[in-house]
Structure 1
Amino acid sequence: MTPSETTPAPEPSAESPALKVSGRSGFVGAMFLMAVSAIGPGFLTQTTTFTIQLGAAFAFAILVSVLVDIAIQLNVWRIIGISGRRAQDLANDAVPRSGYVLSALDVFGGLVFNIGNIAGCTLGLQALFGLDVRVGALVSAAFAIAVFLVRRAGVAMDRLMVVLGLAMLLLTTYVAITSTPPVGDALIQTVAPETVSWLAVATLIGGTVGGYIVYAGAHRMVDNGVRGVDQVGEITRASVLGILITAVMRVVLFLAVLGVVTTGAELDEANPVASAFTAALGETGRIFFGAVIWIAAITSVIGASYTSTSFLKVLGRWVTDWERWVVVGFIVASTAIFVVLGSQPVTLLIFAGAFNALILPFGLGVLLWVAWRRRDLLHGYVYPRWLLVIGLLAWLATFGVGVPAVLALLEGI
């Protein structure tokens, strides 16, 4: 027998009982957390902007990015799931103190991007109810905090992610159907594009599995007690399904905007998503936009806060013991900064964008090293060569995300 067949599952690591969800629900919650964490205000804006620029040819960029995303998540989920340990703990054992670096990058990037998520929440509530941005920020923060303070916070968070994720998908699908996009042309250009934008591909990869997002589902899975060699099949399915949920939302939004663009409608560059929805549905589109962006933003607030806190656990057991309150503190800090500044802090977002792009090759590289050379951290599991190869290829592709971001940052200094 191979070591992977004889080694028992690792002992569970410490986690907050209030946030733990067991059984198949543990997989579903992790899968949707990863998916909706990726679908934030930036996701909506990126998809809309590139659709306006590239038209039907953007379908090719979506396909390539999805294939790379799957390769990355297959490796990240399997390595973390089999080891039963979070990314920063594995990194510290594989390369001393690298886990602290990874945690610092993730927490900083998560905090700054959470300010952007709060800003997205305010746009949604402003479109729906005309609320002042500061009031919208406080209302949204209170909603997110309430999720973590209920008695069974883990169950509440996972169920909310599923419900809101499906609601967002259904609303956007309705807009896509109404806008009557040229589906045939989009299908053809998925494999034979008139224009290829590698910048679009790199941006989509960074937005879907960059920064903390790549670890959101895997950390949730481990915290739910789902781990070990005997769970490899379920881990694989959940990682792929999570990416496919994100991909479906991306495709539906792409088609919705494509339908509007092909009519010749001019969209507002300052708020392309809102103008696309309004062009498709009139005044109803404004309401749909408000609902979709608020859902995208609030689920990203919850996902970023939870995942960033999971990285803070590298500081000691006290973070686990007070996990819900640490998450609440993270949300309060993000909201307070937004309210004080009154808008998204552009400079911080630029720096965080570069860090976010760097986290992907850095963290993925360490995890692949564990799979290749540190079988002891995987409890003797024989890592499939084919999976390691596609992981290495995906890792090389991530430099297409990180290097341009850093160069852009240096040019702006």
Structure 2
Amino acid sequence: MTEAQQSGTAAPGAGERAKSFAKRRRGPIIGAIFLMATSAIGPGFITQTATFTAQLGAAFAFAILVSVLIDFAVQMNIWRMVTVAGKRAGDIANEAVPYAGHVLAVLIVVGGLAFNIGNIAGGGLGLNALLGLDPKLGGLITGLLAIGIFLFKKAGPIVDAVVLILGIGMIVLTIVVAIMAAPPIGDALRQTFVPDEISFATITTIVGGTVGGYITYAGAHRYLDSGNTGPEHVKSVHRASVNGILVTGIMRYVLFLAILGVVASGVTLDLSTQASNPAGQAFGAVLGDAGLRIFGAIFWAAAISSVIGAAYTSATFLSTFSKRIFAGWGLQLATVAFIAVSLVVYLLVGTAPAAILVFVGGFNGLILPIGLSIFMYIGWFRSKDVLRGYRYPKWLLVLGTLATLLSFSMGAASIGPIFEFLGIGG
């Protein structure tokens, strides 16, 4: 035993090492919060908000409220189960139901690919508005920059820093535009709770675009890297997930108010073609050319941060098939490959980016209840073995089960209208 230990004091340098250890853990926690937030307020949500606000006006506030409530029920359950078990979602699902994790992984990867094509399309739209670049060239630049981030051997801290900076920038710029738009706040607040019109296809699409598909698991999977796993860390997980939900909820409502101010002023957004860019039109109506540039900056930031989130989270599900291949540097290479495939598909077929962004939200809204049902089964019947004997709170399971049933019913009622966004159904 050393003299320092005998005297009851820490050895020299122990305090510094403890601080360094805490700092290393804090990075992934903050990264998890903003990875979830920026994924949930990506270019799909921005385009959906503009499209549906133009169609429904202040009544769209009700869809925002429902999306936040479902988000709360979903994220609180998924974050808690993933971190208590200390495993990724696919592995947990396989442990509870043989091959369920493989099915979930396929759905998430397919849905994530659809999302990422839309995210890259959003990057093209953003750089077109910001710099006047051709959308295809803008999408190419967005995809290549995201690939460059993951080619660094220690990509984790870089990803955390990028999504944090982009997330704060998006929030600040959107608040400025919302103030300038002077929306009818009283009417918006009333219709948040008592809407004049309810559209289940709209709610399913907005839920899918903000919590469906890979977004459900993005923050939780990143949080695993903090090392704060197991039942003993439930309080810190709860706090982090609530903070992430608050950030996304505020951002969603502020963006809605910015668009509503434009629509309420009498400006008509052009939704006549699949290539329309309603969000860009709204920002331009508020601040002219400067508004269009601000929109471009917000949209591009949302796009590249969502490309990062979709690719990273989808790649983490590949470990369900092979932990040896898809770990460490292998995971980063898989992420790069995922972005590259999304980019190639967009360059080949992505001729209507706005339509793609609306459709993929709805598509992932259809995937959402499938994964949720697996985790609700685990919470109700398998918490003793799968969740390390953790006594799961019943109130949280009730909320999660209600969200699952609601998303199933809305999805069943919305399949046709969702595919109509691409001119496939109807």
TM-score (norm 2): 0.87
1:318 alignment partner, SS class: coil
After the TM superposition, which residues 334-345 of structure 1 pair with which residues of structure 2 at under 5 Å, given as runs?
334-343=342-351
Counterpart in 2 of 1:7? none
Between the aligned partners of 2:356 and 2:292, the Cα distance in structure 1 is 30
Further displaced range: 245-254 or 333-342: 333-342
Deviation at 1:354, TM superposition (A): 6.5
Further displaced range: 276-285 or 265-274: 265-274
Asked whether 1:275 is paired with 2:277, we answer: no
Alignment check: 8 A CA contact 2:204 2:365 kept:
no
- Give the alignment partner of residue 340 of structure 2, picking from 332, 347, 359: 332
Change (3 A) 1:126 1:153: same
After the TM superposition, which residues 116-131 of structure 1 pair with which residues of structure 2 at under 5 Å, given as runs?
116-131=118-133
Between the aligned partners of 1:120 and 1:405, the Cα distance in structure 2 is 24
Asked whether 1:392 is paired with 2:392, we answer: no
Between the aligned partners of 2:342 and 2:62, the Cα distance in structure 1 is 36
Mark the structure with the bigger radius of gyration. 2
Deviation at 1:192, TM superposition (A): 2.9
Alignment check: 8 A CA contact 2:44 2:361 kept:
no
Change (3 A) 1:349 1:68: closer
- Give the alignment partner of residue 290 of structure 1, picking from 275, 288, 296: 296
Counterpart in 2 of 1:176? 178
Alignment gaps of 5+ in structure 2 = 1-22
Alignment check: 8 A CA contact 1:108 1:352 kept:
no
Number of aligned residue pairs: 393
Alignment check: 8 A CA contact 2:206 2:361 kept:
no
Deviations 1:340-378 (A, max 9, x none): 335259999899667523321111111111111112111
Change (3 A) 1:343 1:249: same
Change (3 A) 1:241 1:298: same
Alignment check: 8 A CA contact 1:26 1:226 kept:
no
Asked whether 1:379 is paired with 2:388, we answer: yes
Deviations 1:144-187 (A, max 9, x none): 12221234311110111111011011111111111111112222
Between the aligned partners of 2:415 and 2:258, the Cα distance in structure 1 is 32
Change (3 A) 1:73 1:254: same
Deviation at 1:88, TM superposition (A): 0.7
- Give the alignment partner of residue 73 of structure 1, picking from 72, 75, 88: 75
2:325 alignment partner, SS class: helix
Further displaced range: 133-142 or 165-174: 133-142
Deviations 1:30-64 (A, max 9, x none): 11101111212210111112222222222222222
Asked whether 1:143 is paired with 2:150, we answer: no
Further displaced range: 99-108 or 130-139: 130-139
Between the aligned partners of 1:182 and 1:135, the Cα distance in structure 2 is 38
After the TM superposition, which residues 394-409 of structure 1 pair with which residues of structure 2 at under 5 Å, given as runs?
394-408=403-417, 409=419
Between the aligned partners of 1:387 and 1:78, the Cα distance in structure 2 is 10
Deviations 1:50-93 (A, max 9, x none): 22222222222222221121011111111111001111111111
Alignment check: 8 A CA contact 2:207 2:361 kept:
no
1:370 alignment partner, SS class: helix
Further displaced range: 63-72 or 287-296: 63-72
TM-score (norm 1): 0.89
Counterpart in 1 of 2:235? 233
Residue identity in the other structure for 2:371: G
After the TM superposition, which residues 208-357 of structure 1 pair with which residues of structure 2 at under 5 Å, given as runs?
208-269=210-271, 270-316=276-322, 317-321=324-328, 322-343=330-351, 356-357=364-365
Change (3 A) 1:60 1:218: same
Further displaced range: 296-305 or 35-44: 35-44
